[in-house]
Amino acid sequence: MRRLGDLEAEIMDRLWTWNRPATVREIVDDINKTRPIAYTTVMTVTNILYGKGWLLRGKHGRAWLYSPVRSREQYAAALMEDGLGESKDRPAALVHFVANMSEEEQAALRKALRNTARQADQAKADS
């Protein structure tokens, strides 16, 4: 299972980096530069990614050309917003560092930070 996920990531990584539609053969050849891998393995996993909705494909001559549905940045933004709880219905699923703040809260915060900085200076001057 773990290795399958890794190969999925490798395939997506290449398609995002190349930023153009590519055939399974091109992906296999590129992976083969670093380690041997069977054409059928890559084809199977590419099909899984297509089935999961990560890839689009179109016929070019006799070969399928695959391309990511969305850019890496678009996926990342959707994931981040999901993880930060900006989309609804994710109770207890993800714990994020800080919540958004309103203007007034930010002003109160700046004041609090300034006060501590002043106190720290004072303490330094006193000692």
Partner 1 sequence: MNAAPALIGYTAAVGFAAPYLLLRAAWPHRAPALAAAVWHALAVSFSFGAALSAASLAMPAENLHAGLVGLLHACGLDVGAGQPNPEVAGRLAVGVPAAIGIALMASFAFHVVRARRARSEHREAVDLVGRHSAHLSATVLPYDVPAAYCLPGRGPRIVISDAAVRQLTPEQLGAVLEHEQAHIAGRHHLVLAAVEAFYSVFRWLPLARHAREQTALLLEMIADDRALRSHSHEVLATAMYEMATARTPKGALAAGGHTTLIRLKRVLGPRRTAHPALWASVAAAAAMVPLLPLLVACPPGLG
Q: Lay out the site mask for partner 1 across 42-81 (x = CB under 8 A, - = otherwise).
A: ------------x-----------------xx-xxx-xx-
Residue 34 found at the interface with partner 1 (CB under 8 A): no
Contacting residue, 96, 118, 121, 122, with partner 1 by CB under 8 A? 96
Cα–Cα nearest to 53, from 68, 38, 63 = 68
Q: At what angle do helices 24-32 and 39-51 cross, to 10 degrees?
A: 130
Q: Tell the smallest beta-carbon distance from residue 59 to partner 1 (Å).
A: 25
Residue 38 found at the interface with partner 1 (CB under 8 A): no
Instruction: Tokens for 6, please give them.
Output: 């890794």
The terminus-to-terminus CA distance of the chain in angstroms comes to 61
